[in-house]
Amino acid sequence: MLLHVDESGIGPRTVVLLHGMMGSSESWHRVVPRLARRGFRVLAFDLPGHGLSPRDPHLTIETAAASVVETVKSRATGGPVIGLGHSYGATVLAQAAASLRPRLAVYVDAALRLTGGADRASLVEAYEKDRRARSSSEVLRIARPFYSAADAEVEARAAERFDPETMASVSCGIDHAWVPGPASILVRADPSAWVSDDDARRFARQGGEVRSIPGAAHTLWYSHFDEFMAALPELFG
């Protein structure tokens, strides 16, 4: 399927942004202007079952990645591509990397492992409960005091549009694990509930570079925006 994309900026290099679960292309609203000012063409995706993109109750990580690749191709970028994925979006980027061949792949707070075998009905119920709770910007700001009002509005809107059936399908299949390419960076919170020290060491052994932001939340650029910018001089100078 072709996915919804918000496009910004002009330039010979394209950055593909892939949000985390229950996020959307708007999750990058702080990041996109910085990239555009640096001369990048920015493609911020809504992944399947998120935002304005199609739903698919039979989605797999492979079909999600294929949708990203096909959508990038449909945009006829021409120049080199850089991938930046957060959490679930990072796993999609890792799966897509063989076809997308990014000049640089940045994985944000993601272990690049996906556990399958989930019970679909239970997972749909859990996702729906979480979706309802996160659909209130007021509740989000209480739970995440580092959110600005704009952050909370963006993430509440993303939760409203999130489809539990689509995302549950991804976790009902087999286990997955990905090996980072040579031009790969892992940026993680320290400590991280998602990326253990063992995960970070595995990433480094496989040829990736690990950078940590002490005290950051899972969505690093919301809680530690300046530190996130500084951690990626390749993108933000």
**Does residue 94 carry a pLDDT above 80?**
yes
pLDDT at 77 over 80: no
Q: How confident is the model at residue 72 (pLDDT cuts 50, 70, 90)?
A: very high
- Confidence check: pLDDT of 66 > 90: yes
Indicate if the alpha-carbon torsion angle 177, 52, 82, 97 is positive or negative.
positive
Class of domain 5-115+175-236: alpha beta
pTM above 0.95, yes or no: yes
Closest among 165, 139, 144 to 59, alpha carbons compared? 165
Task: Note the pLDDT tens digit of each residue in 106-145.
Answer: 999 999 999 999 999 999 999 999 999 999 999 999 999 9
The residues spanned by each domain of the chain are 5-115+175-236
Structure tokens at 29: 């609203």
pLDDT in tens, 160-199: 999 999 999 999 999 999 999 889 999 999 999 999 999 9
Read off the pLDDT of residues 19-40 as tens digits, 9 standing for 90 and up.
999 999 999 999 999 999 999 9
Tokens of 211: 């950078």
* Residue percentage of the chain with pLDDT more than 90: 96
pLDDT over 80 (residue 76): no
Q: Is 157 strand, coil or helix? A: helix
Q: Is the pLDDT of residue 87 over 80?
A: yes
Residue (of 91, 77, 102, 101) closest to 176 by Cα position? 91
